[in-house]
Chains A and B, each alone.
Chain A
Amino acid sequence: MTAEEFKQYVKSNGVKKAAKEVDVVTTGTFGAMCSSGAYFNFGHSDPPIKMQKVWLDGVQAYAGLAAVDAYLGATELDEANNMMHGGAHVIEDLVKGKAVRLRATSYGTDCYPRKEIDTFVSLKTVNQAVLMNIRNCYQNYAVATNSSARTLYTYMGKLLPDYGNATFCSAGELSPLLNDPFYRSIGIGTRIFLGGAQGFVVWEGTQFNPGVPRTPDGVPKRAAGSLAVIGDLKQMSPDFIRGLTFTRYGTSLGVGIGVPIPILDEEMAKACAVTNDQIFAGIFDYSQQTRSRTVLREVSYSELRSGEIEIKGKHVPTSSLSSLYKAKQIASNLKSQIQKGQFMLEKPVQNFALDRVFKPLDVRTEKEAM
């Protein structure tokens, strides 16, 4: 069953029956996930080159690895700082089957004499093309609004002045980690739907922070957990991997992720029965230019999804940045893959450590950092 179907089922049949009858619940989310990127092995040229600087369609990739490996980050902009074209767009072009221009320079060594190369590569020509995202699939996220007198352009989208709108970025009750709030079934080694292909969870996502405020049922009310994920870019689909531009912020990658959750017991069934009215997020004023913005208030996802929320007595229209349509698509796609036996569920090889905290960066002396 998809998470949406499961919630309906629990409503009419109760948790006990649901825990007995249902094996797996499928979840999904599609949103801008900035900490994404892909690494490549281009193969060796003749004469060979130890690539020191690498550009793919004018966007620089990190090449401080062995000779012909490089990592292209989604938010890297092209050399003109053109926000319409960053690493995310190059990744999308590759997934669409396009060829992209590879340029590399080097200082030349005895074993790698070549000093530059200018050629074209595609997913067909490279040895490996692997999507490796270090922080995706946030468990929950902030709601952004703007009290100032000017329009703000942020990674949370366009925020109109004077509480003109509010944006949020979670699939809510369909979102993977909101259905497994304490990471019982999602851990290292979990097989997932990633960008249209099958991938894996490889680690906790960076900034993993399970200790945030939670509801009495354990549902986090702030960002909390996240996932580091990996998968074969060559198998992915442009339906679920998209280059995005946030005006005056930069580029980001739209990534589709789905996770199957085995209903191990009643507790798991209860967790997966959570609905939008039981999931809350904090509203933050993004005109406060500090890392610790104050929470204006908390709202439920059913309020957010209604299209309008109240902030300081004002009716404020809301926008999601996470596509519910694609989240639904992913959950039902995953469901049919499991039914056809094309997708095997994996028990985590290791669960996440729950004692992780989210530390700030301060300007400090060498001694203070020790």
Chain B
Amino acid sequence: MKTKVVLNFSPEAANTPITHNLIMKHGLMVNILRAEIDEIGGKMVLELSGKADDIRKGIDYLKASGVGVRPIKEGVRRDDELCTHCGMCVSICPTKALAFDPKTGKVTFTEEKCVACGVCIDACPPRAMEILI
């Protein structure tokens, strides 16, 4: 089976070879969809594939290593009242779910393309993007 997770790292956890351990010790296939890590911690979006049991163990291992784990099922929503159509999110959205429409000058949000990676959340100045949990 396959599942997508968002990982949040503290600065300490950012220094452990987490993906390596997931692959070697837990026999999972790991596809990195997005990674943003620096000295003050970071965030990573992974697609894990393997046996359901191994995935569960892998996630337990991550939690034990002090990594915040959030499965992606929920999705991301835009509050159209708040969006000013500035366009900040357009260049950071990895899937082009947020895109600029030159005709209207508006920024469109295509929910089907969104992988809920969450990268746009803290980049949006009026905080129009929110994660539904």
A residues whose Cβ falls under 8 Å from a Cβ of B: 30-32, 84, 149-151, 153, 157-158, 160-161, 164-167, 242-247, 252, 254, 305, 307, 316-328
Q: Write the nearest CB–CB distance from A100 to chain B, whole angstroms.
A: 19
The answer to whether B88 and A167 have CB atoms under 8 Å apart is: yes
| Chain B residues with CB below 8 A from A245, complex form | 125-127
Given contacts A31-B86, A325-B106, contact A307 B126 (CB under 8 A): no
With A30-B84, A150-B39 as given contacts, are A319 and B105 in contact (CB-CB < 8 Å)? Answer: no
Which residue of chain A has its CB nearest to the CB of B85? A325
Q: How many residues of B contact A (CB 8 A)?
A: 23
**Residues of chain B having any CB pair with chain A under 8 Å:** 36, 38-39, 84-92, 100, 102, 104-107, 122-123, 125-127
* Extra 7 A-B pairs, beta carbons < 8 Å, given A321-B86, A325-B105: A30-B84, A151-B38, A158-B92, A160-B36, A160-B91, A244-B126, A319-B90
A308 to B, closest residue via Cβ: B91
Task: Find out whether the CB atom of A158 lies under 8 angstroms from the CB atom of B90.
Answer: no
Which of A247, A254, A317 is within 8 Å of B123, CB to CB?
A247
Greatest chain B CB density within 10 A among A245, A246, A323, A327 is at: A323
- Our count of residue pairs bridging A and B at CB distance below 8 angstroms stands at 89
Q: Contact between B125 and A321 (Cβ–Cβ < 8 Å)?
A: yes
Which residues of chain B have C-beta atoms less than 8 A from A242's C-beta? Answer: 84, 126
B102 touches A305 (CB 8 A): yes
Closest to A149 in B: B38
Measured CA separation A153–B127 after assembly (Å): 15
Closest B residue to A166 by beta carbon equals: B91
A–B complex contacts, Cβ < 8 Å, 12 sampled: A157-B88, A242-B126, A243-B126, A244-B125, A307-B90, A317-B91, A319-B90, A320-B88, A320-B100, A323-B105, A324-B85, A326-B84
